[in-house]
């Protein structure tokens, strides 16, 4: 009887502390890399070897907490230097918030002697604005760098907006606003903060093309 009791206890201990794949619980094992440990805590399970619980909330099952720690000594010095260099480059190219805003307003003043119809992006959008003679259109967003159009009674003119604004912006409803004018000669020129037309701006005037 004593021999049988000892055998039963050994089976219970093996079934209690050894997983089906042979991993021993509560015994630290050295893994690849210095300073790494895999520890199983609170391994008090009533599972049959080879079976996994269908729910951790079932009665009689305890959660096995596996913790893994990484020491900084195991990180190569070269990898740390590369990471620091990348952070330094990103910090150097960070644009200050007041310098540029993704969402801004654009205005277009109609100096032509007739009503015009403005489409800021005829390729990806179909929003159209009617602008009377001498009136100013203001909308959230900008003109397409690929193609935008201004329809007049004689014909429709197409333009491509450059990768520059041409003049300093003003403030409108808490955002930047870039202002332009559609002239009698069907040109588009920027307007400065003082309300004057800037005729020597880089990339301007915008001249119409056929399509």
Domains of the chain: 2-71 (no CATH), 105-191 (2.60.40)
Query: How many CB atoms are closer than 10 A to CB 166?
Result: 22
Tell me how far apart the alpha carbons of residues 145 and 190 are, in angstroms, rounded to a whole number.
15
Mind listing the pLDDT tens digit for each residue in 5-20? 444 445 444 445 566 6
Mind listing the pLDDT tens digit for each residue in 26-52? 545 555 554 444 444 444 444 455 544
Strands 156-159 and 148-151: antiparallel
E strands along 73-174, which residues? 105-110, 116-119, 129-131, 136-140, 148-151, 156-159, 170-172
pTM higher than 0.85, yes or no? no
Q: How many residues are present in the chain?
A: 211
């Amino acid at each position: 009887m004593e021999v049988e009791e000892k055998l039963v206890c050994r089976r219970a201990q093996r079934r209690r502390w050894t997983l089906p794949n042979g991993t021993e619980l509560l015994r630290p094992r050295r893994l690849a890399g210095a300073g790494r440990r895999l520890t199983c805590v609170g391994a008090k399970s009533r599972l049959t070897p080879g079976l996994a619980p269908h729910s951790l909330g079932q009665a009689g099952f305890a959660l096995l907490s596996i913790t893994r720690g990484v020491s900084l000594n195991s990180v190569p010095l070269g990898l740390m230097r590369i990471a620091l260099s990348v952070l330094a480059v990103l910090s150097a190219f960070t644009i200050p918030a007041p310098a540029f805003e993704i969402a801004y307003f654009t205005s277009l003043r109609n100096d032509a002697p007739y009503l015009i119809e403005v489409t800021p992006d005829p390729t990806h959008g179909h929003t159209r604005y009617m602008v009377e003679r001498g009136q100013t259109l203001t909308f959230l967003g900008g003109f397409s760098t690929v193609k935008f159009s201004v329809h007049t009674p004689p014909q429709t003119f197409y333009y491509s907006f450059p990768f520059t604004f041409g003049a300093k912006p003003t403030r409108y409803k808490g955002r930047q606003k870039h202002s332009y004018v559609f002239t009698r000669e069907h040109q588009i020129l920027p307007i400065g903060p003082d309300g004057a037309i800037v005729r020597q701006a880089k990339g301007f005037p915008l001249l119409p093309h056929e399509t």
